[in-house]
């Protein structure tokens, strides 16, 4: 079925089709329409699930953690300050190894109040153990939410997944998307069988005090699982592609990279914009390509190393780790040997246009040694 | 019912990490006897997070979800929703939280769960301070009490959480004391059979925190009730009923024992001046009058 709808409505549909049994959510702009639509699905009986109308995002994540620990599939969505309020519980979900799926609509952080796109919200959650996806179209948003459950619940992963996309740019923009049937989704994503759960027939204690002789193993296991997740993400994407004829590029989506001298690395909506810029630059004879980071955690280090072997990288961050540079640029620099030029762009929803990307390209090309700059118009 | 008639099953096991004379352990033991095997508990940061003992062992033989300090009530909502979705409505969900996790940091989540009518039992075992982190003042610490963050004695009186819970239109609210285990058992048993949120607060005198000998826990708990410092009641269907010695104190048919007897047994009140004791007596009287009008 082909629909034309906003990313938020597409997410609500994807969440419904994944058949979660508990949804706990709190409204926040620009995520709100997801929560509204899901509440409608539950109240109308279209979705058989418990909807917990919590009093805060901290409680939303807590309720999801507790429900998931009781053995059922859960869903929640948030944005910006809501995500920050959840921060403690994001760590809790990760360390508890609970495969919760959450959508985060990327939005800037105040003060002053800004409801527009910015990735500092999710970037500042990168050490919580969650897998992080960044989408560039409404189709990808739908596909990723369904895939996220399969990836999170895989026995080699058992970690929560955060699906991110740009506030308003995607959340409130209608785009066409192909939606498989419920039966096809059910075949792809069978009912959830938890690895452990709170069960009165088999009492366990979860999360009691853990001494130094065990704690490090818990963190180590998360690290191993994130590494294993790279393969799982690829396999799930392959399976999806085989079934529905759509791939969004596993960990990284590459475009015209084979003979490129310079490759633009970006995420989310900027990645989609850069796609058009690559075509524009190619028309002028520039040997340029695009590597859109679809997955930020686990960090696709090996893939980036391969890309950087023959080309210089331009990294566009819609975030800033204040005091150093863009977070993605830092991580790429730590991963590859080649030259990396980092740009900060589009903070607080500022438009990143084809013209801006052309300018970044020209600046990066002029420079011979590799450099870092923040461009403020 | 007599103590010897309580169920023989133990859900708080031997070898746990509680301090000697720990009132929380006494209370939980009784509470779980009343709730039985089909119970899932969720515990925020508190002494009970320690009492369970260290991973990979546990001294609780019912499923237990530890959760962040401010999150216990929201955790109960999640567990209950999942159980309901799975058709397991015969399982009781209980929050087991201290006063810090209830009166202070956990109040927002508690209020949320009460308002949305989560079908659970919230038990606050009130030792009138943050015991787990040492002995710091909480919203439940009484006026005049020494703690490590009120060296000269607390300047403010405790807030009344049970009253806050009552105005949430909570179907069942009760207070209890470890000195009256059969009363506690009966209240928990009754709460189990009531639909919607239930709140029970148990006074738990803490030997290291209140500065008394560990052998005196039950004695201090009993004297708290006999002096009218701690009132035992049930609030059900809009009606308040007092139990045990509290009944006579509120109805004026029984004289309360002098509050000094109770204060003098505790090192935390060692620095009280005559004025402080006058203040405490006034506060007590006001409390009784408040409930006389209410009941």
Strand order in the sheet with A131-134: A50-53, A22-25, A74-78, A101-106, A161-166, A131-134, A295-297
List C-alpha distances in Å: A225 to A212, A244, A355, B211, B246.
Answer: 21, 27, 41, 48, 57
**pLDDT for B128:** 98
Q: What is the tens place of the pLDDT at every residue in B191-235?
A: 999 999 999 999 999 999 999 999 999 999 999 999 999 999 999
Distance CA B95, CA B79 (A): 11
List C-alpha distances in Å: A67 to A74, A226, B82, B172.
Answer: 7, 23, 5, 25
**pLDDT for A286:** 97
Which residue is closest to B40 within chain A, CA to CA? A200
**pLDDT for B1:** 86
**pLDDT for A366:** 84
Q: Most A CBs within 10 Å: which of B35, B36, B39, B63, as the mutation test of the A interface?
A: B63
Mean pLDDT confidence for B170-192: 98
Distance CA B204, CA B178 (A): 7
**pLDDT for A375:** 53
Distance CA A225, CA B103 (A): 39
Name which residue leads in pLDDT, B1 or B23: B23
Q: Which two tokens stand for residue B106?
A: 């956990």
**pLDDT for A306:** 96
**pLDDT for B49:** 96
**pLDDT for A167:** 98
pLDDT at B81 over 60: yes
Mean pLDDT confidence for A256-276: 96
Chain A positions in Cβ-Cβ contact with residue B115 (cut-off 8 Å): 55
Chain A positions in Cβ-Cβ contact with residue B81 (cut-off 8 Å): 21-22, 24, 50, 52, 63, 67
Q: What is the tens place of the pLDDT at every residue in A154-212?
A: 999 999 999 999 999 999 999 999 999 999 999 999 999 999 999 999 999 999 999 99
Mean pLDDT confidence for A120-128: 98
**Are B109 and A59 in contact (CB < 8 Å)?**
yes
**pLDDT for B83:** 98
Q: What is the tens place of the pLDDT at every residue in A64-113?
A: 999 999 999 999 999 999 999 999 999 999 999 999 999 999 999 999 99
Of B65, B85, B111, the CB nearest to A22: B85
Name which residue leads in pLDDT, B149 or A353: B149
Q: Are B184 and B30 spatial neighbours (Cβ–Cβ below 8 Å)?
A: yes
pLDDT at A149 over 50: yes
Could you tell me which of B16, B1, B3, B114 has the C-alpha nearest to residue B64? B16
Which residue is closest to A213 within chain B, CA to CA? B55
Distance CA A101, CA A161 (A): 5
**Are A209 and B68 in contact (CB < 8 Å)?**
no
**Are B82 and A209 in contact (CB < 8 Å)?**
no
Tell me the pLDDT band of A369, cut-offs 50, 70 and 90. very low
For chain A, give the percent of residues with pLDDT over 70: 97
Q: Most A CBs within 10 Å: which of B35, B39, B82, as the mutation test of the A interface?
A: B82
Q: Are A133 and A144 spatial neighbours (Cβ–Cβ below 8 Å)?
A: yes
Smallest CA–CA distance, residue A324 to chain B, in Å, is 32
Q: Which two tokens stand for residue A65?
A: 């953690």
Q: Which two tokens stand for residue B127?
A: 């030792």
Could you tell me which of A164, A154, A159 has the C-alpha nearest to residue A65? A159
**pLDDT for A363:** 86
Q: What is the tens place of the pLDDT at every residue in A29-58?
A: 999 999 999 999 999 999 999 999 999 999
């Amino acid at each position: 079925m082909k629909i034309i709808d906003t990313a938020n409505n597409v997410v609500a549909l994807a969440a419904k089709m994944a058949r979660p049994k508990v949804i706990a959510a709190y409204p926040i702009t620009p995520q709100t329409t997801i929560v509204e639509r899901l509440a409608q699905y539950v109240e109308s009986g279209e979705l058989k699930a418990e909807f917990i109308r919590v009093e805060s995002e901290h409680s939303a994540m807590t309720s999801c953690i507790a429900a998931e620990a009781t053995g059922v599939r859960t869903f929640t969505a948030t944005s910006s300050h809501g995500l920050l309020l959840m921060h403690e519980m994001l760590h809790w979900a990760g360390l508890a190894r609970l495969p919760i799926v959450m959508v985060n609509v990327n939005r800037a952080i105040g003060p002053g109040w800004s409801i527009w796109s910015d990735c500092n919200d999710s970037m500042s959650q990168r050490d919580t153990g969650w897998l992080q996806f960044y989408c560039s179209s409404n189709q990808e948003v739908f596909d990723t939410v369904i895939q996220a459950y399969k990836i999170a619940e895989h026995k080699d992963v058992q970690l929560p997944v955060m699906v991110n996309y740009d506030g308003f740019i995607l959340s409130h923009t209608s785009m066409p998307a192909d939606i498989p049937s419920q039966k096809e989704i059910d075949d792809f994503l069978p009912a959830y069988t938890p690895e452990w759960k709170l069960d009165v027939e088999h009492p366990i204690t979860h999360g009691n005090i853990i001494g130094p002789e065990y704690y490090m193993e818990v963190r180590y296991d998360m690290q191993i699982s994130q590494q294993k997740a790279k393969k799982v993400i690829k396999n799930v994407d392959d399976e999806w592609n085989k079934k529905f004829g759509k791939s969004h590029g596993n960990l990284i989506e590459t475009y015209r990279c084979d003979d490129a001298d310079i490759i633009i690395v970006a995420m989310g909506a900027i990645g989609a914009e850069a796609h058009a810029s690559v075509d524009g630059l190619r028309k002028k004879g520039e040997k340029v390509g695009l590597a859109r980071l679809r997955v930020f955690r686990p960090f696709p280090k090996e893939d980036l190393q391969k890309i950087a072997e023959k080309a210089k990288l331009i990294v566009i961050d819609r975030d800033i780790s204040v005091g150093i540079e863009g977070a993605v640029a830092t991580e790429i620099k730590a991963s590859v040997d080649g030259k990396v030029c980092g740009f900060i762009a589009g903070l607080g929803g500022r438009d990143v246009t084809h013209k801006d990307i052309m300018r970044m390209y020209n600046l990066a090309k002029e420079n011979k040694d590799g450099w870092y700059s923040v461009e403020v118009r | 019912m007599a103590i010897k008639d309580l169920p023989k099953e133990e859900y708080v096991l031997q070898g746990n990490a509680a301090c000697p004379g720990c009132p929380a352990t006494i209370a939980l033991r009784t509470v779980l006897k009343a709730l039985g095997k089909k119970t899932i508990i969720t515990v925020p940061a508190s002494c009970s997070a320690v009492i369970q003992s260290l991973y990979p062992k546990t001294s609780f033989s019912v499923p237990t979800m530890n959760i962040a300090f401010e999150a216990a009530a929201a955790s109960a909502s999640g567990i209950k929703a999942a159980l309901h979705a799975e058709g397991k409505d015969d399982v009781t969900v209980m929050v087991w939280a201290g006063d810090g996790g209830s009166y202070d940091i956990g109040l927002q989540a508690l209020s949320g769960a009460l308002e949305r009518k989560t079908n659970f039992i919230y038990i606050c075992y009130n030792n009138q301070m943050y015991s787990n982190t040492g002995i710091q003042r909480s919203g439940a610490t009484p006026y005049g009490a020494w703690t490590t963050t009120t060296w000269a004695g607390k300047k403010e009186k405790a807030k009344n959480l049970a009253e806050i819970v009552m105005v949430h239109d909570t179907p069942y609210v009760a207070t209890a004391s470890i000195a009256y285990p059969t009363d506690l058992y009966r209240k928990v048993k009754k709460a189990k059979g009531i639909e919607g949120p239930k709140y029970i607060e148990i006074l738990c005198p803490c030997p290291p925190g209140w500065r008394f000998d560990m052998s005196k826990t039950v004695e201090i708990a009993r004297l708290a009730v006999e002096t009218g410092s701690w009132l035992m009641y049930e609030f059900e269907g809009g009606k308040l009923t007092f139990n045990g010695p509290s009944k006579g104190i509120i109805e004026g048919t029984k004289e309360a024992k002098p509050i000094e007897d109770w204060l003098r047994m505790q090192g935390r009140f060692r620095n009280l001046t005559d004025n402080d004791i006058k203040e405490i007596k006034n506060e007590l009287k006001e409390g009784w009058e408040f409930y006389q009008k209410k009941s």
